[in-house]
Chain A
């Protein structure tokens, strides 16, 4: 029942996620250890004489799981930033919600030092 799809799709998705991860840090993604390991693993399991290779299926499953992990972490962080990352409003913003403005007091408020 494990509908994994084609390995090529998983591979391209993994490359995409690695690109996103390394775009922010500025490093080329081909230098990362993760990229090198994935290339080695995918190449090593490509050629096999068996028709139904369990190790190939296992590797593909692990790759798809890792892809799901990277993708869902990225989307989770993006959702968090968009909806839950704003923090509290400042006093000026809260006053502006109801159309009020904090008064300008160039001499400072009386009770402040």
Chain B
């Protein structure tokens, strides 16, 4: 069964150059075909994904439409990389798109914004320890620059505190951040809230959205204490690395999702004189 699929694919490389209707040469091989062919069609309303000539749908049955071409290609690549079994836990972008399309918890835009800003009260980079001394210094060296960058960029005050109640965030800070987050559309807000939940920090998420931090840097800063303990006591691959890679994957998916949902591209060609 596999060999017949491969022969068709290799010998039929010209099939890929024909219009989409030419791909119907592969017959359906039962409910779960082993190597499905993916394609995406650019219609007017948005981009759709077809798996084996059947359109992809969300868990609630809606048609899967995304606003951006790059996002559609990334989702199609995710589906393409599935082999014998469909591992939904590796398809983070698909999950995010499904959440945005279905909105299963049925939250409004301001509820999402409020949930994200609420994280500032318990932000990771604002919570400091008092001992051991090396960890205190590490937190100061790594987290203070990020906080001061955020304070400069948004003109707000975010302190850090060692008390158990956390930092006291003035109301003006909250307002500024709420109005900043309100400038994103609904899809991007789902992504932002996802990243905030993963990193447990709003400041780091803002750094990612403003291209100030890379994903690896943000994950490292979020896991600063864990990395400190790993350096001291050793690394356990099946726990630490596992969690690290999962956190990186989710954060990268969320960040990419937000960027792709809130951008618009326009290419201007300059005329060459002479």
Interface residues, chain A, with chain B CB atoms under 8 Å away? 1-4, 21-22, 24-27, 31-34, 37, 41, 44, 49, 57-58, 61-62, 64-66, 68-69, 72-73, 75-77, 79-80, 82-84
Q: Are B77 and A27 in contact (CB under 8 A)?
A: no
User: From residue B153, how far is it (CB to closest CB) to chain A in Å?
Assistant: 12
Q: Are A62 and B260 in contact (CB under 8 A)?
A: yes
Interface membership of B270, Cβ < 8 A: yes
Q: Are A33 and B76 in contact (CB under 8 A)?
A: yes
Pairs across A and B, CB under 8 Å, 9 listed: A21-B77, A25-B81, A33-B38, A33-B40, A68-B214, A68-B252, A69-B93, A76-B90, A76-B246
Residue in B closest to A33 when the chains form the complex, CB atoms: B73
User: From residue A35, how far is it (CB to closest CB) to chain B in Å?
Assistant: 9
* Interface contact tally, CB-CB below 8 A: 112
B145 / chain A contacts, CB cutoff of 8 Å: 1
Binary contact track B149-193/A, C-beta < 8 Å → 1, others 0? 100000000000000000000000000000000000000000000
Binary contact track B237-274/A, C-beta < 8 Å → 1, others 0? 11001100110110011011001100100010010000
A84 / chain B contacts, CB cutoff of 8 Å: 238, 242
Interface membership of B83, Cβ < 8 A: yes
B93 / chain A contacts, CB cutoff of 8 Å: 69
- Interface SS majority for chain A: helix
Query: Known contacts being A72-B248, A80-B242, is A24 close to B83, with CB within 8 Å?
Result: yes
- Smallest CB-CB A-B distances: 7 pairs: A69-B252, A83-B238, A72-B248, A76-B245, A72-B249, A68-B252, A72-B245
A3 / chain B contacts, CB cutoff of 8 Å: 214, 217
Q: Which of A21, A31, A37 contacts B73 (CB 8 A)?
A: A37
B214 / chain A contacts, CB cutoff of 8 Å: 2-4, 61, 64-65, 68
Binary contact track B81-103/A, C-beta < 8 Å → 1, others 0? 10100010010110000000000
A33 / chain B contacts, CB cutoff of 8 Å: 38-40, 73, 76-77
Interface membership of B115, Cβ < 8 A: no
Q: Are B9 and A26 in contact (CB under 8 A)?
A: yes
